[in-house]
């Protein structure tokens, strides 16, 4: 199981989630070249350990465990996965 970042992150890119992630699975970070060009942050589902540390620190409630991702944002499972392909 993984957590996913959905639509509320678009244009926000608050990196509080990056700072609390124990396995460095949320990108791009502010130090990465593509941070400014990216419209949101993404969670690598293959690296995510399902710890949930990122969810409560997100100021726009954009992070959800897969089983709680709202139906209207199901496409963000593929969007997050494709970012890391």
Domain residue spans in the chain?
A: 3-83
**How much is the average pLDDT of 4-23?**
97
- The confidence score (pLDDT) of residue 11 equals 94
Whole-prediction pTM: 0.95
Q: Is 26 in a helix, a strand, or coil?
A: strand
pLDDT reading at 1 higher than 90: no
Distant-in-sequence, close-in-space partners of 30: CB < 8 Å, separation ≥ 6:
15, 18
pLDDT in tens, 24-81: 999 999 999 999 999 999 999 999 999 999 999 999 999 999 999 999 999 999 999 9
CATH number for region 3-83: 3.30.70.20
Cα–Cα dist 50/15, whole Å: 18
């Amino acid at each position: 199981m993984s957590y996913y970042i959905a639509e509320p992150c678009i244009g926000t890119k608050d990196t509080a989630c990056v700072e609390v992630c124990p396995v460095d699975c949320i990108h791009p970070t502010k130090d990465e070249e593509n941070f400014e060009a990216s419209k949101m942050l993404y969670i690598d589902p293959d690296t995510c350990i399902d710890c949930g540390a990122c969810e409560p620190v997100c100021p726009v409630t954009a992070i959800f465990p897969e089983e709680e991702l709202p139906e209207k944002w199901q496409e963000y499972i593929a969007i997050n996965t494709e970012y890391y392909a």
